[in-house]
Amino acid sequence: MDKKERLKELVGILNKASKAYYQQDTEIMSNLEYDKLYDELLALEKETGIVLANSPTVNVGYEVLSELEKQAHPSPMLSLDKTKEVEALKTWLGNHEGVLSWKLDGLTVVLTYENGELVNAVTRGNGEIGEVITNNAKTFVNVPKTIPYKGNLVLRGEAVIKYSDFNRINDSIEAVEDKYKNPRNLCSGSVRQLNNEITAKRNVHFYAFSLVADVLSETEMKDVGYNNTMNDRFAWLVKQGFDVVEHFTVTKKTIESQVMDFAERIPDYDIPSDGLVLSYNDIAYGKSLGRTAKFPRDSIAFKWADEQAETTLTKVEWSPSRTGLINPVAVFEPVELEGTTVSRASLHNVSILKALGLGIGDKITVYKANMIIPQVAENLTRSNNLEIPKNCPACGENTTLKDLNGVQSLYCLNEKCSAKQIKGFTHFVSRNAMNIEGLSEATLEKFIENGYLKKLVDIYHLDRYKEQIVSLEGFGEKSYENLLQSIETSRTVSMAKFIYSLGIAGIGLANAKVIVAHFGQDFEKITKAKEEELVAIDGIGEVLAKAFYDFFRDEERMKEVSGLLNEIHFEKEAVSEVQILSGKVFVITGSVEHFSNRNELKDYIEKLGGKVTGSVSKNTDYLINNDTTSNSSKNKKAKELNIPILSEEDFIELAKA
């Protein structure tokens, strides 16, 4: 292949990977592979002098496809040139003073304030046109709605979801295939929601990293102590109430040790990052250097040179799920990476597996993306002899390859697949669904194998098998009685939890609540809703609407739903006429006594018009904690911000007022 053809091929491959990552929240190659191909393309463009109009070296960001309003940026949002060498940073900085900061891995957002009020928020989009997310930005945990400065202010920052929140959200999702892949994808979806209630629940944080322009006059700069340096800008933004990216002043002599300090902190750093950013502290000097077609010359990105280890692929496991998707997982001889032992890495889908040319016994290199997530970097031997299973590892029935948006994935089409059954049953009994304790995945597997469970409705007739269940290993009379009591309790359930329990593709509990509320808790209307009616609901797009519509048009599924309806009854979601807590923001921590759990207390607050968030901020009105005198981090934060700390008794009195 000649150089021009290779150049075209690289553009196509990289654009396809970018589209999958930014628009479809999926991966068809690792970050390491993308960077390698990108660098090859860059070198070819430099050598041949040919730069195609659709080359990723001259285009930035994702194409805007959602239903959010679009808006042009006042100035183009360029990406940064990058390096993986500390020596290159030293050369770039020269004898100038620099500012080194985290390069956060989220979604870039531009905020505009007028007369001290947040009036506009726009995503990066394709660098020239973004999506308007003003209502969503107002729910970010730490974004000030008002600031002291009353002039026009436009700033940029990164919206992120912390690892602790990401793990909390994923831990609440029972089914493996429904879990989010990484904080960046979760953040991207959260920030661009059509329903800002969903955004609020995701605990999105915002960290400012630059001002779009010199918005202050010389007089104003003097008055507020704002000078022509990056450090002064950061300090001024902090005075306005913004959290800013953590940053340090560096010189050519100190930058290496500062980079090492950042690197050592990555394993315990709660905010996702994918490198560092080095900028000239002298803003005027940086601007005088101008820009290229894609990069500004006042800053450069530093990407971690990921530690890699060579190992041998011992097998690829194929993990079936309740949706039929069968995920490949690479299993290899254990290696040490970034201080931990690693022996497994997700391959995500068949497209990635094929691109790597994998075969058992191949020598592969592995690394931790951003020093955290295990990935296969490269296949050194590329035997390419790995067979894609023709039969499902769970049920033995035929599998099929599906091509969705250019990404190949393996599926089992057998509706009676045991994996689908087990995962489906597990989802049905999970905490946020029917909440039946005592039916772990292992227990369900035993019950299915022994023929006690064939359909979901059989759960409500397990008393037929009392003698057999009591005699099972790990079971006894007490366990059986507890299980039956939990099953009886589950017969009274909210309509939203029941709909969520059915495992409709893409429909989470939040979606179910929105749909139930829209149709006034009328189950018949819900099941007969047309796609266009569903799409009209905030937060329900065409894909979800089709999945929901198709589910309730399936005769077999409707028979199962009808059978379940004979066993349960819906509790009415009472809506208080007096929204006494309207506009009030609460945070709940610690154990509760007057409510069965914190979710019940949360539901009660929401019924009275209040809102519950996950962390204490200046937007919080009350912290509820029965241990009002503890030195917990939330109590400390509340005291710092003069936020009242209420016991449950205090809260109950407040709710009666």
Active-site residue list: 103
Strand partners, 313: 332
Helix runs in 462-502, H state only: 466-471, 477-489, 495-501
CA angle 214, 218, 223 (to 5 degrees): 110
Helix runs in 490-627, H state only: 495-501, 509-518, 523-527, 531-535, 542-551, 555-565, 598-607
Residues 6+ apart with CB under 8 A from 324: 411, 412, 413, 417, 420
Q: How far is CA 558 from CA 421, 426, 435, 523, 535, in A?
A: 17, 20, 22, 13, 22
| Contact in structure between 76 and 125 (CB atoms under 8 Å) | no
Q: How far is CA 618 from CA 145, 574, 602, in A?
A: 10, 30, 20
SS3 192: coil
SS3 30: coil
d(CA 633, CA 638): 9
| Contact in structure between 325 and 503 (CB atoms under 8 Å) | no
| Contact in structure between 248 and 230 (CB atoms under 8 Å) | no
d(CA 156, CA 121): 10
CA-based radius of gyration for the chain: 27
| Contact in structure between 160 and 221 (CB atoms under 8 Å) | no
CA dihedral 85, 89, 90, 94 (to 10 degrees): 150
Output the furthest CA–CA distance in the chain (Å, rounded).
Answer: 86
Q: How far is CA 615 from CA 259, 529, 578, 621, 638, in A?
A: 30, 37, 26, 12, 10
Residues 6+ apart with CB under 8 A from 204: 136, 139, 140, 141, 159, 160, 161, 187, 190, 191
- φ and ψ at residue 164, rounded to 5 degrees: -60, -40
For 285-323, give one letter per residue: b (16+ CB within 10 A) or e: ebeeeeeeebbbbbbbbbbbebebbebebeebebebbbb
Strand partners, 280: 98
Residues 6+ apart with CB under 8 A from 409: 325, 326, 349, 350, 351, 401, 402
Helix runs in 128-254, H state only: 134-137, 163-171, 183-191, 196-201, 218-224, 230-239
